[in-house]
């Protein structure tokens, strides 16, 4: 009896303390929100403040934006309407969902600035803060000019046979045991292809040893992103991280050293053999045209951050094809008529529409990377001061029933047959809007289409029952939602 009483009493005490802590926390969050709203007034012409969720300790809505992006995009639009405000740390971000607001905001996109470190704090800055996608002005122009020649439309066309050979070899070695049928987690099956294909575009062909070393460094980078950046909190501050989490900082230093050494080695081993992008880049870095951080962070962006982006997109493309046997069959019929190299550049094929439909349904991020205009803007009726971070709710744009119809959440690639390309401009988030569009869009598209061409040539795709039952299950360790679904690959009898 006595023991029961003690257990009950201590349970009650713990519960009360917990309630107290929670309600204090909610109170503090409300007070901080009020202060932040006062500091950053955004109102409409009736003097009504822009709606949005309360600031949350310690990262605002930053982590939810990535880890629960799909659910939050829908929930926030439902609760706050088409234009609202969230917080990244304590920085306000205005979220827009309407095509007309996207057009208004991007009307001066040439002079837009990306937010420093994407408003994501110190640890993120150490990995990617100086990369092309996040710097501005003359520095951005210099860096973009450095990499652009490798990824223009014509440069990618010239590389098609190299990418095609890589795709065919990869698919032919998908199952080392060459079984007639096997199942794999889709992301595990596909991820090394876009990774090494993109790396080859920078370094030229890689030996097995170099591939292994690069893959290992990528895992270090992704681990830091998953464990620390996506935990937020103390990792937003360099001082706090060094003080409270020295092991994390050591891990970061180990990665940074390995990454610099790898690239130096790539430069040394390639400089005699002709011109691959790493050689030019390293020379320009030594001449002071780009800084070391700009070079290394952009290589990280292109090779490591993109591993998640490309793995996510390619996995979903394979999964959607596995889900829809009919579309799969039609794409295969389309393939039987032509050369892989020709089909991968067509914009009007069913394959091209499957790719677009995948980007529409599963944009790599539910919210675009924050950027600001140097001019005041009126968005959704609210007066947004110059230099305020604005993000596009990619998911809401891509699922907008007014434009895409009632079945906007379903995979139906044929819908693109009746959409004018010009209408897609502000109704589809795929490779970004305005001046800061994706550097690698042609490369990424060709790479993924070639992969699918060889995959469908060799295998029938279907989903495991578990995958069908829980198609939308995604991992939470990456900044891009990577699907968990397993696909069954069955050798075709031709």
Instruction: Find out whether 412 and 90 touch, Cβ atoms under 8 Å.
Output: no
Provide the token pair at 475: 């991992």
Instruction: Find out whether 294 and 135 touch, Cβ atoms under 8 Å.
Output: yes
Nearer to ligand HEM, 16 or 145 (CB): 145
Residue matched to tokens 């929930």: 75
Interacting residues with ligand HEM between 334 and 373 (CB under 6 A): 359, 364, 368-369
Give the residue among 431, 307, 293, 302 at the shortest CA–CA distance from 369. 431
Nearest-5° angle of CA 16, CA 28, CA 25?
Answer: 30
Q: What 3-state class would DSSP assign to 193?
A: helix
CA distance 115 to 121: 11
Provide the token pair at 310: 């490309």
Q: Which of 163, 249, 290, 302 binds ligand HEM (CB under 6 A)?
A: 302
Q: How far is the CB of 421 from ligand HEM (least distance, A)?
A: 17
Residue matched to tokens 């790539």: 266
Instruction: Find out whether 112 and 371 touch, Cβ atoms under 8 Å.
Output: yes
Q: Which helix (H) or strand (E) holds 202?
A: helix 192-203
CA distance 66 to 364: 10
Q: Which of 40, 70, 116, 144 binds ligand HEM (CB under 6 A)?
A: 144
Q: Which of 306, 311, 328, 478 binds ligand HEM (CB under 6 A)?
A: 306
Nearer to ligand HEM, 234 or 356 (CB): 356
Q: How far is the CB of 393 from ligand HEM (least distance, A)?
A: 12
Q: How far is the CB of 364 from ligand HEM (least distance, A)?
A: 5
Q: Which of 301, 308, 324, 486 binds ligand HEM (CB under 6 A)?
A: 301
Interacting residues with ligand HEM between 146 and 185 (CB under 6 A): 151
Q: Three-state secondary structure along 367-424?
A: ECCCEECCCCEEECCEEECCCCEEEEEHHHHHCCHHHHCCCCCCCCHHHHHHCCHHHH
Nearer to ligand HEM, 234 or 312 (CB): 312
Nearer to ligand HEM, 141 or 219 (CB): 141
Q: CB burial class (10 A; 0-12, 13-18, 19+) of residue 326?
A: exposed
- Pairing of the two strands 91-96 and 389-392: parallel
Nearer to ligand HEM, 43 or 347 (CB): 347
Stretch 190-209: interaction string toward ligand HEM, x if CB under 6 A: --------x-----------
Nearest-CB residue for ligand HEM: 440
Q: How far is the CB of 420 from ligand HEM (least distance, A)?
A: 21
Interacting residues with ligand HEM between 425 and 444 (CB under 6 A): 431-432, 436, 438-440, 443-444
Interacting residues with ligand HEM between 373 and 432 (CB under 6 A): 431-432
Q: How far is the CB of 430 from ligand HEM (least distance, A)?
A: 6
Which span sits near ligand HEM by CB under 6 A: 154-162, 213-221, 308-316, 378-386? 308-316
CA distance 77 to 96: 9
If you write DSSP's letter for every residue of 259-283 in order, what string do you get?
Answer: HHHHHHHHHHHHTTS---HHHHHHH
Q: Cα–chain-centroid distance for residue 329?
A: 30
Nearer to ligand HEM, 403 or 431 (CB): 431
Give the residue among 359, 218, 305 at the shortest CA–CA distance from 480. 305
Nearer to ligand HEM, 132 or 217 (CB): 132
Nearer to ligand HEM, 131 or 485 (CB): 131
Nearer to ligand HEM, 123 or 359 (CB): 359
Provide the token pair at 444: 């990424």
Provide the token pair at 123: 């640890």
Does 132 bind ligand HEM (CB under 6 A)? Our answer is yes
Which span sits near ligand HEM by CB under 6 A: 34-42, 64-72, 248-256, 305-313? 305-313
Nearer to ligand HEM, 289 or 438 (CB): 438
Q: Which of 50, 229, 285, 310 binds ligand HEM (CB under 6 A)?
A: 310
Alpha-helix residue ranges (DSSP H) falling in 206-339 = 208-227, 238-244, 246-270, 277-286, 292-300, 306-323, 325-336
Q: How far is the CB of 242 from ligand HEM (least distance, A)?
A: 30
Please tell me the count of residues contacting ligand HEM according to CB under 6 A.
23
Q: How far is the CB of 461 from ligand HEM (least distance, A)?
A: 19
Nearer to ligand HEM, 249 or 390 (CB): 390
Q: How far is the CB of 191 from ligand HEM (least distance, A)?
A: 13
Instruction: Find out whether 323 and 186 touch, Cβ atoms under 8 Å.
Output: no
Q: How far is the CB of 488 from ligand HEM (least distance, A)?
A: 24
Q: Give 474's strand partners.
A: 483
Interacting residues with ligand HEM between 258 and 287 (CB under 6 A): none
Nearest-5° angle of CA 481, CA 160, CA 301?
Answer: 35
Residue 131 counted as an annotated binding residue:
no
Write the CA distances from 149 to 143, 152, 153, 155, 194, integer angstroms.
11, 6, 9, 7, 19
Give the annotated binding-site residues: 438
Q: Which residues lie near ligand HEM (CB under 6 A)?
A: 132-133, 144, 151, 198, 301-302, 306, 309-310, 313, 359, 364, 368-369, 431-432, 436, 438-440, 443-444
Give the annotated binding-site residues for heme: 438
């Amino acid at each position: 009896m006595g023991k029961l009483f003690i257990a009950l009493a201590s349970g009650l005490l713990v519960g009360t303390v917990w309630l107290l802590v929670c309600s204090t926390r909610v109170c503090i969050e409300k007070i901080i929100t009020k202060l932040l709203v006062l500091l950053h007034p955004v109102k409409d012409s009736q003097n009504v403040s822009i709606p949005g969720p309360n600031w949350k300790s310690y990262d605002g809505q930053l982590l939810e934006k990535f880890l629960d992006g799909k659910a939050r995009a829908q929930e926030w639009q439902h609760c706050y309407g088409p234009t609202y405000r969230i917080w990244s740390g304590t920085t306000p971000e205005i979220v827009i969902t309407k095509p007309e607001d996207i057009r208004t905001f991007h009307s001066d996109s040439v002079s837009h600035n990306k937010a420093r470190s994407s408003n994501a704090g110190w640890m993120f800055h150490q990995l990617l803060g100086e990369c092309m996608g996040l710097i501005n002005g003359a520095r951005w122009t210099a860096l973009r000019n450095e990499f652009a020649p490798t990824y223009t439309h014509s440069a990618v066309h010239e590389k098609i046979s190299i990418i095609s050979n890589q795709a065919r070899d990869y698919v032919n070695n998908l199952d080392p045991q060459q079984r007639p049928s096997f199942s794999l987690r889709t992301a595990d099956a596909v991820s090394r292809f876009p990774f090494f294909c993109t790396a080859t575009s920078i370094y030229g062909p890689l030996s097995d040893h170099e591939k292994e070393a690069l893959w290992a460094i990528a895992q270090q980078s992704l681990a830091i992103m998953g464990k620390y950046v996506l935990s937020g909190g103390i990792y937003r501050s360099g001082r706090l991280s060094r003080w409270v989490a020295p092991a994390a900082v050591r891990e970061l230093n180990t990665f940074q050293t390995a990454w610099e050494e790898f690239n130096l080695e790539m430069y040394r081993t390639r400089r005699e053999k002709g011109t691959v992008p790493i050689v030019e880049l390293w020379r320009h870095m030594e001449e002071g045209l780009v800084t070391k951080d700009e070079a290394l962070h952009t290589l990280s962006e292109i090779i490591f951050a993109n591993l998640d982006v490309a793995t996510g997109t390619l996995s979903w493309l394979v999964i959607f094809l596995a889900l829809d046997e009919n579309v799969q069959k039609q794409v295969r019929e389309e393939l039987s008529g032509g050369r892989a190299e020709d089909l991968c550049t067509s914009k009007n094929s069913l394959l091209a529409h499957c790719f677009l439909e995948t980007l529409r349904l599963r944009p790599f991020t539910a919210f675009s990377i924050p950027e600001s205009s140097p001019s005041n803007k009126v968005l959704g009726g609210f007066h947004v001061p110059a230099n305020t971070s604005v993000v596009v709710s990619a998911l809401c744009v891509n699922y907008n029933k007014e434009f895409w119809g009632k079945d906007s959440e379903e995979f139906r690639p044929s819908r693109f047959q009746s959409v004018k390309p010009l209408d897609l401009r502000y109704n589809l988030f795929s490779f970004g809007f305005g001046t800061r569009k994706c550097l690698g869009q042609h490369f990424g598209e060709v790479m993924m289409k070639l992969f699918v061409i060889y995959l469908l040539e060799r295998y029938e795709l279907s989903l495991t029952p578990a995958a069908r039952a829980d198609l939308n299950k995604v991992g939470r360790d990456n900044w891009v939602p990577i699907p968990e679904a397993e696909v069954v690959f069955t050798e075709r009898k031709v």
